[in-house]
Amino acid sequence: MFVSIDGRNLASSDQLVSYIQGHAGQQVTLVVKRHGDLQTIRVTPIDERTVKVQGQTAVPPSATPYGIIGVQLTSPVQTTNPIVAVGKSTTDLGRFSWVTLKALGSVFSPHGISNYTHQVTSPTGTSQSQQQATSNNNNPRLTSPIGIVRLASQASHAGLRDVLTLLFSINVFVGLFNLFPMLPLDGGHVAIAVYERARSRRGRRYHVDVAKLLPATYLVFLVLVVLGVTAIYMDVTHPLANPFQ
């Protein structure tokens, strides 16, 4: 298990990966825990652009160095009793939901919209290394069914746990996104039902004139179509790097 890098305690694997990526050609000091003992290891990340597989470069050329150390990160498998498992499942569901909400907020923030627009309009020659670096810098992007199928294939090669995690993440995302309080999403119907209930009085039920909401509904539908089309375009021309490596 990785404990620290260059004196910085590691809170997550993403922190380790990001640091390694930004220090190609520079020696770094890692502290790892093996069998309960702390060990210090000094390594020099190589630039992934220089790696060749069967005489061919592993990734397209990029203007940005991308450090790697040839280590594949995995999560340990832990077993627990059913009672503890229920509690951990609830905690993990809350954590996944919070991360998903943060990602949605990032995508639809002014910076996220600007970043997504730049990705869509950038040249199709964007390298896989750049995409992976962008993905690891907390700049999430929407994925189309084409990208999801690609991710599912990559997850299947990584193992059943990654497949289940991907399916869980997709379901959490769809559920939360569908709760957005605007028609034609389910959240819009829920919002209307709650509003009608709040305005209703005993013996007199209030009904919202849904026809007045049609312009906003058409706008939301148009946004969904644009997001779907651009996501497909991105997944075809700018496929994300394999996150399960």
**String of DSSP letters for 129-142:** HHHHHHHTTT----
Query: What is the spatial distance between Cα 182 and Cα 188, in angstroms, rounded to a whole number?
Result: 4
Confidence (pLDDT) at 218: 95
Q: Are 39 and 150 members of one domain?
A: no
CATH of the domain at 33: 2.30.42.10
Choose between 222 and 126: higher pLDDT.
Answer: 222
Rounded percentage of the chain residues whose pLDDT exceeds 70: 85
| 146 part of a folded domain | yes
Shortest CA distance to 42 belongs to which of 21, 63, 26? 26
Q: Are 22 and 98 members of one domain?
A: no
- The partner residues of 8 in beta bridges, in order of sequence, read 5
| 112 part of a folded domain | no
* 128 has a pLDDT exceeding 60: no
Domain that holds residue 94: 80-107+142-245
Are residues 25 and 10 in contact, defined by beta-carbon separation less than 8 angstroms?
no
Confidence of residue 241 (pLDDT cuts 50, 70, 90): confident
The verdict on pTM exceeding 0.95 is no
Distances (CA, A) of 188 to 7, 77, 111, 181: 50, 40, 26, 4
Shortest CA distance to 177 belongs to which of 100, 63, 229? 100
Query: What is the spatial distance between Cα 214 and Cα 188, in angstroms, rounded to a whole number?
Result: 12
Q: Are 27 and 96 members of one domain?
A: no
Average pLDDT rounded to a whole number, residues 36-43 = 90
Confidence (pLDDT) at 116: 83
106-119 pLDDT, tens digit each: 888 888 888 888 88
CA torsion 17-23-27-30 (nearest 10°) is -20
Q: Are 25 and 48 members of one domain?
A: yes
Number of domains in the chain: 2
Q: Are 93 and 146 members of one domain?
A: yes
Residues in CB range of 173: below 8 A, 6 or more apart = 100, 104
Compute the Cα dihedral for 86, 89, 95, 97 and give only its sign: negative
Query: What is the spatial distance between Cα 193 and Cα 196, in angstroms, rounded to a whole number?
Result: 5
Pairing relationship of beta strands 8-9 and 2-5 according to DSSP bridges: antiparallel
Are residues 71 and 138 in contact, defined by beta-carbon separation less than 8 angstroms?
no
